[in-house]
Structure 1
């Protein structure tokens, strides 16, 4: 008994950047036009082309949904902004790095140890044993 032949895996193409809303709109228009023309008697290549277009639209939409560089920092594009930073709003992570470079490595303040007070253990007296047990 022979094993069933494996279907060839399809390598999805990734559209070339830049990604913007016009490229997504054009891809979606192509999908809509092809979907309007396709039927169950269409050739296999038509379905493959529709799948390629759908995957391309997915990739473009996913890339457009990524967070943008709101901080203006090349090193930390999605970083929070420190509005109170000297010189205007700046990347919070770069501000922290600059502050650490100015002050040097962090140091640990060693406090002298305090004597630990000794607490006397107060034991409760045991209740007397009832007669006949023991």
Structure 2
């Protein structure tokens, strides 16, 4: 259960509604998801978060599918169920196949296992790996 109610278009400020309209335009959809509706209680945070997300997730040296898959991995590590679901849907929309999803989950699981082992053992970093 959320800690704030999700605001409808009729309930948000003019500033928040402008961000909602930009979300719709950028994503080519009429849907504004719950994360943005919760953030709309604080239009300044909503605007800053949306602006940064647009910049970070835009095509660049990493293509948008890779970025979505990275988001899934980090969200898994951070225990953010909402983001795992949201960015898995985003990755699928950008072309992630069931096989790719399976490999992604396997890599996440392997990294979590080896991270736990190396952290528990406090293994010193090899000199050749240090920047």
TM-score range for the pair, normalised by the shorter chain length: under 0.3
- TM-score normalised over the length of structure 1: 0.22
Larger Cα Rg: Structure 1 or Structure 2?
Answer: 1
Instruction: Name the structure with the higher helix share.
Output: 2
